[in-house]
Amino acid sequence: MKHQHTVAANPDIGAGITTTSESASRHNVTNADLYRAAWAASLGSALEYYDFALYNLASALIFGPLFFPSSDPAMGLIASFGAYFLGFAIRPVGGIVFGALGDRYGRKFVLTATILLMGIASTMIGVLPTYASAGIWAPILLVGCRLLQGLGAGAEQAGAAVLMAEYAPAKRRGYFAALPFMGVLLGTVMAAAIYFALVRVDDLSQSWLWRVPFLLSVVIIAIAIWIRLRLKESPSFSKLEARQQVKDSPLTHLMRHSKPMVLKVIGLRMAENGGSSIYQSLAISYIATATGLKGQIGPVALLLAGASGAVIIPLAGVLSDRFGRVPVYRAFALYQLLLAFPTWWVLSLGNPGASIAMLCVALAGVWGMFATQGALLPELFGAQHRYAGVAVGRELSAVVAGGVAPLIGASIIAWTTSHWGGRDGTILAWIPLAAYVVILSVIGVVTTFYLPETRGRDLDDLEDAGVVEPGNR
């Protein structure tokens, strides 16, 4: 199938108008094309979050003694999460570079490049020497692989969201744009399932088995690349090319016209990305170090939370099609805010069943916000800088919210341990940790009041989402 376009003599003609032939080209996207795009986006998301969930779990459970040995376990944990943070710190660079390339050369090209980069970096972690055999080079090499992961991930999820939103029919865009985030669950569940099996080993850090999950990344790479190479370019980008409206410098165009919108994306994601990192990484470390619940508790919690997310993510997409992106996002952010203190109090009790159940309940807010973003973020930006806008906004927030959160949280645990009296002080860390989640959630809630409603927006429009029309909110 070829997309048929009418090329305007003046490239600015039709900037916000969809011509008859252009509208037809979107309708010519078949169901096979639509679901192939969903699979292509989902598998890339699966690899990204498989890699990051692996690293989250490894940082919490084994990377300390393997790569950052220390007589003080708390310091080893901080060093491990420091390397975790560097992967987030580099993501905006990946978002800037690959986001601009996605608006210049197309979504398909960049999505193929990013998945290769992430997969190679993750596989390399599986063959790294440890500190015991390579000394200081071991953490240096680990950080290097982590930085490569971050570069690729900096544009992967943004590209998946943009691609799916541009493929999807407007009336069901929320649902279809949420589907790639099922890949997030797939990757998280795969990583948790593998670690669930591996933690049965008495001392995993002393076994070669910790390498296996990272080496398995190569399987996901092969499948995802095969699907992406068969994918057609998104209809919106094809139209930009046909109308000769592709910008030579999409990033410059973005910074000139869309800085306020980028800041709003950052504000939105403080709640979702911060909450995700805290509950999927830091909380697992907390229940292991503060309450002594080690072994299979963390992986089991992520497995069950992933199962609940398989229901919540498509439901949130459907709700956003029915009630709008902004009110649905706000509702899930409020949910996370209200549950912050109850969640951390339950985690502090050291009850295995209650801790697992509460992590599942708490992550429902993260899944709901995450799914709603699938359509919301691409709809906020104009077609000429949409990829760059989503990538830059997402990844700057990933540093200040997701990357910093576990590091701050580990520092809070270390501080309360030393200032509030040993193990009792460690347990009491739940109070400032809950307050931290509240602060991040409040930022997300407040940001929603400064956003226009975007449901049903024409994604061929070159302008960012603007003033809300009466009755649209």
CA dist 221 and 49 (Å) reads 13
Helix axes 297-323, 31-61, angle to 10 degrees: 140
Q: What is the pTM of this model?
A: 0.79
User: pLDDT (tens digit, 9 = 90+) per residue, 89-103?
Assistant: 788 898 899 999 999
Greatest CA separation found in the chain? 74
Considering only CA atoms, which of 160, 16, 21, 159 is closest in space to residue 458? 16
Alpha helix stretches (DSSP H) within 170-258: 173-178, 180-198, 212-215, 217-229, 235-242, 250-257
* Whether 388 contacts 396, CB under 8 Å: no
pLDDT for 467: 36
The two tokens of residue 43 are: 């598998």
Q: Cα(53)–Cα(153) distance, rounded to whole angstroms?
A: 13
User: Which DSSP state fits 47?
Assistant: H
Please check whether residue 160 is in contact with residue 153, taking contact to mean a CB–CB distance below 8 angstroms: no
**By C-alpha distance, which of 306, 305, 340, 335 is closest to 319?**
335
Q: Which of 161, 167, 165, 168 is nearest to 184 (CA)?
A: 161
Q: Chain-centre distance of CA 384, in angstroms?
A: 23
- Report the amino acid identity of residue 297: I
pLDDT below 70 — which residues of the chain? 1-28, 56, 60-61, 70-81, 84, 199-207, 293-296, 298, 421-426, 466-473
- The CA distances from residue 335 to 14, 139, 437, 448, in Å, are 41, 39, 12, 14
pLDDT at residue number 71: 52
Burial 154-176 (b: 16+ CB within 10 A, else e): bbbbbbbbbbbbbbbebeebbbb
Instruction: Provide the terminal-to-terminal Cα distance of the chain, rounded to the nearest Å.
Output: 37
Helix (H) or strand (E) holding 199: none
Given a contact cutoff of 8 angstroms between Cβ atoms, the answer to whether 332 and 302 are in contact is no
265 is written with which tokens? 């994306």
Residue 258 has what pLDDT? Answer: 92
Distances (CA, A) of 94 to 81, 388, 425: 20, 10, 39
The residue whose two tokens read 């590091």 is 407
CA angle 61, 413, 402 (to 5 degrees): 70
Structure tokens at 263: 């800041």
- Per CATH, domain 29-448 is 1.20.1250.20: yes
Please count the residues of the chain.
Answer: 473
Determine the pLDDT at residue 348. Answer: 86
d(CA 85, CA 260): 26
Domain boundaries, the chain: 29-448
Q: Please tell me what DSSP assigns to residue 462.
A: S
Phi, psi values for residue 119, rounded to 5°: -65, -40
**Residue type for position 159:** G
Spatial contact of 264 and 447, defined as CB atoms under 8 Å apart: yes
Residue 292 gets the label, from left (phi > 0), alpha (psi -120 to 50) or beta, of left
The HSE-up count of residue 404 (CA atoms within 13 Å, CB side) is 12
* Cα–Cα distance for residue pair 278/286, rounded to 1 Å: 10
